[in-house]
Each structure stands twice: as C-alpha cells, then as structure tokens.
Chain A
Amino acid sequence: MSSNSFAYNEQSGGGEATELGQEATSTISPSGAFGLFSSDLKKNEDLKQMLESNKDSAKLDAMKRIVGMIAKGKNASELFPAVVKNVASKNIEIKKLVYVYLVRYAEEQQDLALLSISTFQRALKDPNQLIRASALRVLSSIRVPIIVPIMMLAIKEASADLSPYVRKNAAHAIQKLYSLDPEQKEMLIEVIEKLLKDKSTLVAGSVVMAFEEVCPDRIDLIHKNYRKLCNLLVDVEEWGQVVIIHMLTRYARTQFVSPWKEDDGLEDNEKNFYESDDEQKEKTDKRKKTYAMDPDHRLLIRNTKPLLQSRNAAVVMAVAQLYWHIAPKSETGIISKSVVRLLRSNREVQYIVLQNIATMSIQRKGMFEPYLKSFYVRSTDPTMIKTLKCYNFLTYVKSQDKQFAAATIQTIGRCATNISEVTDTCLNGLVCLLSNRDEIVVAESVVVIKKLLQMQPAQHGEIIKHMAKLLDSITVPVARASILWLIGENCERVPKIAPDVLRKMAKSFTSEDDLVKLQILNLGAKLYLTNSKQTKLLTQYILNLGKYDQNYDIRDRTRFIRQLIVPNEKSGALSKYAKKIFLAQKPAPLLESPFKDRDHFQLGTLSHTLNAKATGYLELSNWPEVAPDPSVRNVEVIELAKEWTPAGKAKKENSAKKFYSESEEEEDSSDSSSDSESGSGSESGEQGESGEEGDSSEDSSEDSSSGQESESGKFPSKNILWYIPQEKEKKTKQDRNPLTKDVSLLDLDDCLYSCLCTNENSCAASSNEWKRTSCQLLLSETALHFW
C-alpha cells in the first residue's frame, strides 16, 4: 500500500492546491499498512516528519494513523507537539482529526494544549456555524482547568448565537464545564435559564440534559417553560425526548396533586410505596372527591401519548414510566400495548423491558393480562403466568435448558400459591415431575412442593410418602433437606415411614451435606418427641454423630437439641416446652416474586434495573399535598392566564372540603394498624423466601419481635410472653428469665426453619447467620445451667 499511495501523491502533486510545493516526499513515505502499528520510536519519528511536512495528504495519512493508534488504546501522547501545530490546518479533515487527538490528550499535556486555544477563539467567530460549533465543542472538551474563564465566556457568547446548532453545543458545553469546575455552577445556571427559554426544538433536549446534570433541584426554572416543553416535545429529536420526559415526570410529581383516586388507591396502599406512610394515605383520601386534574398535568399526559408510537424503545419506555408515575390509574392501561411491543425488539431491550413489566404487573395486576400470549415462551414473570394453564408449563419444564426449567417450576409454585383454584392442578403436575429423570428438575419440584404442602398439609399424606421414597434417589442437598423437613413436620401423619427414614439417614449421616445433616438432627428431635419408643436409640446415635461433626453449626445444633429433649435434672423447665418448640406450626411461607422489592425505584432507570441506587439517581418525590401555585407556569400572555383560573378555584374547593378528613383519618389509623400487623406476618414469610431478608439479623431483638407477633395466634396460652417489654430483652442476655429464654429459642427454631426455606443462593448467607445464632445459643445454654 505504501508504494501505491506514494504514487498517487506524486501524481497529485501538480493538481493539488497551490500551497503544496513539489517537495520530494521520499523521506516521509508511509511505512507499513494501517493495521500494523507498533509503539516503536522509529515509527513515531516517522509520523512526526509526516506531520511537519507541507503536504496535506501526508499530514492526513499521519493523523489517520495516529487516530488508529488512539482507537486501539495505544499511547500516542508523545506526538502532541507535532499534532497540535496542525490545529489551524485549512483541510477540514485534518482539523477534525487533530480535534479528536486534542480531546484525547489535552488533559495530559495541559501546557502544550494552551497553544491551540487561540485558534479556537478565532474559530468561535467564524461565519460558518459548523466551525463555530465544533470549535466550541473541542474547546469545552479539553479538560484544562486554566481555560475555565475562556470557556465560560465562550459558552455565554454561544448561548446567544443565532444558530440553534451552536446554541445546542453551548448546552452541551455547560455540562462539560460543570464537571471540570463545579464552582461555576451559579453562572452556568444563568446560562441554562436563558437557554431553557429557547424555542428551538434542537436546543430543548440538550439544555434539559444540562439542567438535569447541573441543577436538577432548581425546579423553579422549569415553571415558565413547562408548557412550551410539553408542546415542543413531539418535535424534539428522540434522545432529547427521553431526557425531557424523565425531567417532566419529576416535575409533575412535585407540582401536581395525585390523580390516583381512592378506590384504586386503597389496593395500592399495601403495595405501593408512595402511600406506604400513613400521612400519604390521608392525603389520597382527602383528595378523592375534590380532585380535578390540573390542565397542565393533563397537557403533559396528552402530549406524551403519541410518543408511545416512537420507534425508539427508550422513548416508549420513558413515556411508559411517565404514565405509570403520574397518570391516573385508569389511563395507565394504554401503555401496556406499546411496552409489550418492545418485547419483540433486541434481546437487551427485552431484558430491561421485562424487568419493568414485572414491576408494573406486581403492583397492578391485570394490566398485562390481555397480552399474555406475548409472554408465552419467555415467561419468568409471575402475574401474567398466573392465569396460564399448568400444562403449558409442563411443556416448558421438559425444555432442554435446565435452568429455565427450574425457574419455571418455581413460577408454578408462586402461581399455585397466588391462585388457590389451580393449586391442586399445580401440585399434581409437580408430583408428576417427581418421576422425571432429571435431577435438577426433581429437586426443584421437591422444594416447591414442600412450600406448597406447608400451606395445606392436611390432605397430602400420599405425596409425602412418595417423597420419602424418593429420598433414596435424590442427591441434591436442598431437596433432601426439604423432604426431611417435610417428614419431620408431618411425622404424626406418616408414623410408619418417618422412623424408617430416620434409620436410613442415620446410616448415611456422615456422608451427607451440612444442610441435610441439620435436617436429620431436626427430624430426629421431632421424632424423639412424638414417638420416643421407636426412635430413642436412633436419635441418640445421631446426636452422638453430630457432636463430633466437623462443622460447628452442626455441633451447636446437636448440643442444643440434646439439652432440650433429653431430660435431665438441669433442664427441666425448658424441656417441657420442647415439644411445642419443635412441633410448633410454622407459618406458611409466602412465595414472593424476586421482582417484589424493585418498585421503589423509578421505572426505566438504571437503578431499577440493578435494583440498587446508581450514582446520580434522582429520587422521585411524593405527590405534594396541595398543588403549588399553578400560575407560576403562566407565561406573560393574558389569554393563557385566563384559561388557568379554574384550576385555582378547584384548589380553593379543595381546602374547603377538608372537613371530610376527620372521619377518614380514623379509618385510616385503624387501617394502618391492621396493615402493619399483616405486614409483619408476611415479613417472617419473606425471611423464608429470600435470602437477603432472612439475613437481616435474626438475633436483634426488634426483628425477632415481629416473629413473635406472627406466632402469637398459635399460642394463646403463652400470650403473656409477647408482652415482655423489648427493652428488657435488649439489656443483657444473661439476666433473661426463663420465659424470655423460651422466646429466644422459639425464635431460633423459626430461624432454623427460615434457613431451611431459603433457596440455594442464601445458603452462604445463612451460614453467617448461624454464627450469630450459635452465639446466642451458647449464651442461653449457659443460662440453662445457671437455672
């Protein structure tokens, strides 16, 4: 290639512009192909010479190679002096490439970069808007702190430029300057204010972006431009639309009252975080009869609707989240169709959209029901699946992809718990699956069946027997542990099998997984209590084995159980309760969707996807109680102002009707108390389901109190226990009276149980938890001896 281009160069010599001399170019012949660069010094020397030559084509070649180096991530910084000289080149391509280079390396070579500044300053006054704009772009992109004042000046000038394109670039430059020197904030806000008034659609998106970056809290700057932005929205380029919509969502949440009426508000109270605190609930109620939507609010909702038809997934999702967060519930339905449409897009888009759908559907069931079909194959999504028939699942279970099959089974479980009518069908289906040859499928089914049976144990002795038989063939520890737990729980219903199972387990105890060992111990203890005649020796044997186990959790447990169930003179008080402790009825776990807790993030945001707060995430505020003065949005046009007066009136009525509130407040308080009760009940269930929550320090007494509450219904005789002031428990563990000890042990069992219920992913978490509980255990044991 070198010889080729060289030949061209020579030929072109005459035809080229006059500035090119007939200089011999033999010294600068470009060596090697473009693809092959090495950071070889010689080569760089070569490039330098090319850059210093008089021929544009040579310079261009050199710059192209340098850009190639940059693209590959190779260091080309030592060429800086040679490159920077070409910043004033007349050839626009060379110029552009020099810009690329400058932006990349100026930060490293600040002094030399200053050489180029005067060129930019000159270019900023160029009659060609493209040149003005690109000069501003580069000037603002070289991150050299010394030139901040120059940048500031340039931005100010550019923001008054006649060309909207230059103004757009000014808006971009604002963000760059802000990240370079946050102290310029005040001045920059002034520029933003000015640019927000701009009527060009070109500028709108960029300036809102700058607004979001620099001063997202200065919502007052938006007021006057709100209506303009709403009206321009359709014509703004798509990326700008996304940013503007997100900003307007936040704006609407601070400036308008909630359009969510009470009737749907009520069902939301439990699920929706907005109304989670009582205060907020009151507000919703108060508003219910007097609510009249602010015309500006309506304007926003109306003007964003056509954007649902955008080809850009990000725009559609942005509108969807806007509707979700600010539109009346009755109108949210229209987004589902468009969102479902996104599912036919690329896999990455699907991934994000499905997550969002999951959140939405959990909160507002039924929203996506008409679109069930679209979810057929990819369904890991709880609500939509709800209404699907079980056989459909069974087809998926046969799928080759075992992980997918496992997920499907879990979903069946959730589905069964949510809709009681299909529970039986599901259960039957799952039992069929037990005879499947694939181990993972069986194991997963066992775990799910266990959860299901726990809810309605009475009539399923057959299944338990079947599962006991399976114990011989299953090797997945979680499944084995689940079966053992089930048998232990229901040992009175299957009196013949249980001891036999224990016998088998005793034989294989040493080779079992830790998780299984713990359950063997539990089973032994339970059987010992119900059927001590047959199993006394067996249990003793197992306890002995456990005592010398390598795992300290198991040793702890062994010691604990021994103290509890083997009667000796020291531990009399507690062993009376042993049976109750072990055979207490456990609350059935709620099978929760993993998407449950995502809803506190704004939909469509990165934070929502990650389920963690991302840097720079802006919290969506709650609805204000009373709408701030709508007149701030009035622009100085008189007709407009007239139009908005009714809104003001509505607001007055609003305050006049406050006498409703008293009675409703009462209702609310009772509501909320019952809410909190049921909340705590489900909390303990959740501990069973998801590892993170189970991890939430079971030993802290506040937490355990919630567990107590949920059990209180089942132990009326012990009610007195629950009134023990928590402070007392907190004080010191040693001076606990036996009753509190009892409580803590109960908690412990609860906690053991929750460890068991957790899926494989929480196993790691539970072992941590165990360290804590075992400490507690030792303490209580010492206390026992004391007693």
Chain B
Amino acid sequence: MIHSLFLINSSGDIFLEKHWKSVVSRSVCDYFFEAQERATEAENVPPVIPTPHHYLLSVYRHKIFFVAVIQTEVPPLFVIEFLHRVVDTFQDYFGVCSEPVIKDNVVVVYEVLEEMLDNGFPLATESNILKELIKPPTILRTVVNTITGSTNVGDQLPTGQLSVVPWRRTGVKYTNNEAYFDVIEEIDAIIDKSGSTITAEIQGVIDACVKLTGMPDLTLSFMNPRLLDDVSFHPCVRFKRWESERTLSFIPADGSFRLLSYHVSAQNLVAIPVYVKHNISFRDSSSLGRFEITVGPKQTMGKTIEGVMVTSQMPKGVLNMSLTPSQGTHTFDPVTKMLSWDVGKINPQKLPSLKGTMSLQAGASKPDENPTINLQFKIQQLAISGLKVNRLDMYGEKYKPFKGIKYMTKAGKFQVRT
C-alpha cells in the first residue's frame, strides 16, 4: 500500500520523509515538482500523478504537500483519506500543523507515523489510541520527562485497540462530568442578480465534547429527525438504532470528536437569512464606476446576524476604489483586486452600506461582468434548518452529567451574483 511519505513545503523543499517499506529515493518527487510547475497554483496540482514506477498521491493542507508514494493498485481515496487523517492527527497533537511545528517535533511525528502504518497499511489511526501510545508533547511533560527520564511512549497496549469500542479508552475519570454538543449548520447558496435563489442547501455537523467517567452509553434524540437527509456518523454511532428509531445511540469517544455530519433534505426550502442590495455599474466611456452595496437581514427568526464579512474579487480593470462604509472597515488590495469589508453586526434599524466610486484603467473597455460578492456571517443560537435536539439520556453510569447544546448557523459558500 503506502510506500513512503514525503512532506514538501510551499517553496519545494522536502523536509520530512518516512518509508514504510524499502527506501524510495526522494528523486521520485521530481515528477511531483514537474506537475507542480505545470499547475500554476498549489490547489491545482493533480492529486494523482503517475510516474514510470510509482504513483504519487498528494494532499495539500496548511501549505504543506503530503505526498504518498504508491507502487501498486490501491483505491486512491484510501490513500487520500489516510493522508488527511495524518494531517488531522498532527493538528490534534500539536495544535497546528505547520512546517516549523513538524520540524520541532520531528521525533514525535516519526513515532506517530510509525504507529499509524505498518508496512503501508493503517494500523492505528484513532487519535485516542495514538495518544495513549505516544503522548502528545506538552511543556509540562517535557520538563517532567527530562527530570525523571520517563518517556513519551506508553508501554502498554492501549486498551481501546482490543476492545469493541476502539475509540474509547478504559478507566476514564473526570471530576466534572460534562457532555456538550454543538449543532453547526452552514448555508451554501448562490443568489442571482435579481435576488432570487438559484441554489441553496444546508450542511450541518454535530460536534461533541464529552468528558464523562467510565463507559457511558448515550442516546441523543431529535424533535424532527426527518430533516436529516443524508448523514455520516462517527464509528461509535450504532447504525441499527438510527435506521429503526432515528435516534443516535453511542458510547462516545473521549474528548472532542465529530459525532455526525448531515445534509438537510432538498425538499425543505432553505431560509436565506441575509439579502444584499447592490448597484455596481461601469460605463463605457468614463473611467469611473459606481459601487454601492447594502446588507440586510431577511429570515433570521429574531436573531442577530454577526461576523458579517463581504469580499469580492473586482475585475482586472479596476485600479482603485474610494468607498465609505456606514459601519465596519474595508480594504481594497490594488494588486489582487480583492475588496473586503468587515461589517460586523447587522443592526436592522440601520442597515450597513458601502458606497463610493471605482476608478478604472483609462482607455480600457468596461469589464465583461460584474464582480460576484461572497458573504460570510454567523448567527448564534439558531439552526437555520430548524433542527432541534429533543433530549440526551445516559445509561450505564450512575452519576448525573452536565449537558449542554449550542446551535449556530454560518455561511458556507454564499455567493451573490451582480
């Protein structure tokens, strides 16, 4: 399966290599560099590159290319998914996944990679287990280790590895038993010129942060489970209970994990919480264009819209913009032609607007199209799909846990065409 792994930074240096089978010369990466050169941007490097003797599968995250070298047929998604898992694990271990961090922790990285794959086949990828095998570095532990000579490496086989619940270790103890769930929904939408919705859909996740003693068995039920159209679960969720009762029944992993991600069925109309009024016009003769946008709340169920951010890629012909916002701050980068306006909170009584003029390149004809406006926003305490958790029950343990549920709606890829 996975033969070797190379980590390459954005300037093209291989700063880490790991081989699980015989050593593959790093010159194999030359093919990768070639492909990288051809694809002008990092995002455009093809994930699968065939070379005469190997295949290079890569993912690009945190400005690092993770390039896996494969020799034989293997489902490409298998490798890609694994590489993403590697990145997630690093992030979990070190907080961030960046070149300096990996370089500083090269030994831990190496030990982790060694545990994750054996002969190129995934061995332990569950971060709970890995953390028992190799403890993540903390300042305290480094100090203690240097003093006592103890190590980061556990000498016992993680109990989870053998049990039927590999995601949870035994003997967990907390003084405060708590279980928090965050329901986070994202709206992806494209709004056309006239303000009508071309496409809109809602994706959601439920992130859990569970700190419970022992082996609790939780059941989470919804008021309106029918809303959930297409779901994917953390391995801990019992499929059968979901199929028959539409409730989530699970023995949770310890700590933070993503319990569920879902998609809201297409039949439900998506409430669009924001509208944008825009008036962007170029004229053929003049070198000045008009620019005016106003953002306002639409269907928000009485909640305030926060963290509003408007960005727009202006056409190449725009040299500069002189704008005045009624609130917030705005910037325009004349090199990348990126306009961004940090609006903040929307006050329905006084709608935020951004007005002004654009100066265009003299003599150049007017741009073909008006720029598209990208929106970001957040609404606390609201799941826009209307999804509601009914109750959370715990079995198997005696104590009373503290439970909490939070809802939030965010903009995903929210575009307004003008």
A positions within 8 Å CB-CB of B: 5, 8-9, 11-12, 15-17, 20, 34-35, 56-57, 60, 64, 67-68, 70-73, 91-93, 96-97, 99-100, 104, 107, 128-130, 133, 137, 140-141, 143, 163-165, 168-169, 172-173, 175-176, 179, 201-202, 206, 209, 234-235, 237-239, 242, 246, 306, 309-314, 316-318, 337-338, 340-341, 344, 346-349, 351-353, 370, 373-374, 376-377, 392, 395, 398, 400, 436-438, 604-607, 609-610, 612, 614-618
Contacts and interface: CB of A to CB of B under 8 A. Distances in A.
Contacts of B21: 176, 179
Contacts of B19: 104
7 contacts: A8-B146, A11-B147, A128-B155, A310-B233, A311-B258, A349-B77, A437-B365
A73 B14 contact: yes
Interface stretch (B113-121, B209-217, B294-302, B375-383): B113-121
Residue among B16, B148, B235, B258 with the highest chain A CB neighbour number at 10 A: B235
Given A165-B157, A311-B232, A311-B233, A349 B81 contact: yes
A314 B106 contact: no
A71 B4 CA distance: 12
A100 B266 contact: no
A338 B232 CA distance: 9
Nearest to A131: B155
B105 to A, nearest CB: 10
Contacts of A64: 107
A116 to B, nearest CB: 17
Contact of A172 (B22, B77, B119, B201): B119
A310 B75 contact: no
A182 B229 CA distance: 49
Q: Closest 8 interchain pairs by CB?
A: A616-B72, A93-B151, A306-B239, A348-B47, A130-B157, A239-B122, A314-B77, A617-B73
Given A165-B162, A179-B21, A309 B73 contact: no
Interface in B226-269: 229-235, 239-240, 242-243, 258, 261, 263, 266
Contacts of A107: 22-23
B80 A352 contact: yes
B339 to A, nearest CB: 15
A606 B162 contact: no
Interface in B5-28: 14-19, 21-23, 26
B147 A246 contact: no
B50 interface: yes
Contacts of A617: 73
Given A311-B258, A338-B230, A8 B147 contact: yes
B318 interface: no
Given A12-B146, A309-B233, A373-B266, A604 B199 contact: no
Given A238-B235, A239-B82, 15 more contacts: A12-B146, A15-B147, A71-B106, A92-B155, A128-B155, A128-B156, A130-B157, A137-B118, A165-B161, A309-B233, A338-B232, A347-B47, A348-B47, A349-B84, A615-B71
B233 A610 contact: no
Contact of A67 (B72, B81, B110, B151): B110
B70 interface: yes
Which label, helix, strand, loop or mixed, suits the secondary structure of the B interface?
Answer: mixed
A91 B369 contact: no
A341 B202 CA distance: 12
Contacts of A605: 73-76
B76 A606 contact: yes
A312 B146 contact: no
Interface string B93-110: 000000000011011011
B233 A317 contact: no
A606 B74 contact: yes
B59 A311 contact: no
Interface in B47-65: 47-48, 50, 55, 58-61
B78 A237 contact: no
Nearest to A176: B119
A68 B203 CA distance: 42
Interface in B311-366: 313, 365
B417 A348 contact: no
B368 interface: yes
Q: How large is the interface on B (under 10, 10 to 19, 20 to 34, 35 or more residues)?
A: 35 or more
A141 B162 CA distance: 23
B151 A60 contact: yes
B46 interface: yes
Contacts of A5: 146
Given A176-B119, A310-B233, A352 B77 contact: yes
Contacts of B111: 96-97, 100
Contacts of A173: 119
B225 interface: no
A259 B285 CA distance: 68
Residue among B17, B48, B73, B261 with the highest chain A CB neighbour number at 10 A: B73
A91 B151 contact: yes
Contacts of A9: 146
Contact of B149 (A17, A246, A377): A17
B145 to A, nearest CB: 9
Given A141-B119, A311-B235, A349-B80, A317 B75 contact: yes
B139 interface: no
Which label, helix, strand, loop or mixed, suits the secondary structure of the A interface?
Answer: helix
A130 to B, nearest CB: 4
A437 B368 contact: yes
B140 interface: no
A245 B70 CA distance: 20
A328 B262 CA distance: 27
Nearest to A239: B122
Nearest to B80: A348
A604 B75 contact: yes
A610 B258 CA distance: 33
B170 to A, nearest CB: 15
A377 B190 CA distance: 10
A71 B110 contact: yes
B125 interface: yes
Contacts of A97: 107, 111
Contacts of A309: 231-233, 239, 242
A205 to B, nearest CB: 8
Contacts of B369: 398
A234 B23 contact: no
A178 B271 CA distance: 59
A310 B78 CA distance: 13
Contact of A242 (B72, B75, B151): B75
B43 interface: yes
B146 A311 contact: no
Contacts of A340: 230
Given A15-B148, A130-B155, A348-B59, A172 B107 contact: no
Nearest to B77: A314
Contacts of A206: 121
A158 B19 CA distance: 24
Contacts of B46: 351
Nearest to B109: A71
Nearest to A141: B119
Contacts of B281: none
Contacts of A616: 71-73
Nearest to A5: B146
A333 B178 CA distance: 41
Given A172-B118, A376-B190, A438-B368, A16 B149 contact: yes
B73 A615 contact: yes
Contacts of B123: 168, 172
B73 A93 contact: no
Contacts of A164: 162
A607 B201 CA distance: 34
A707 B15 CA distance: 56
Nearest to B166: A237
B118 A169 contact: yes
B80 A306 contact: no
A284 B417 CA distance: 51
A609 B157 contact: no
A5 B152 CA distance: 17
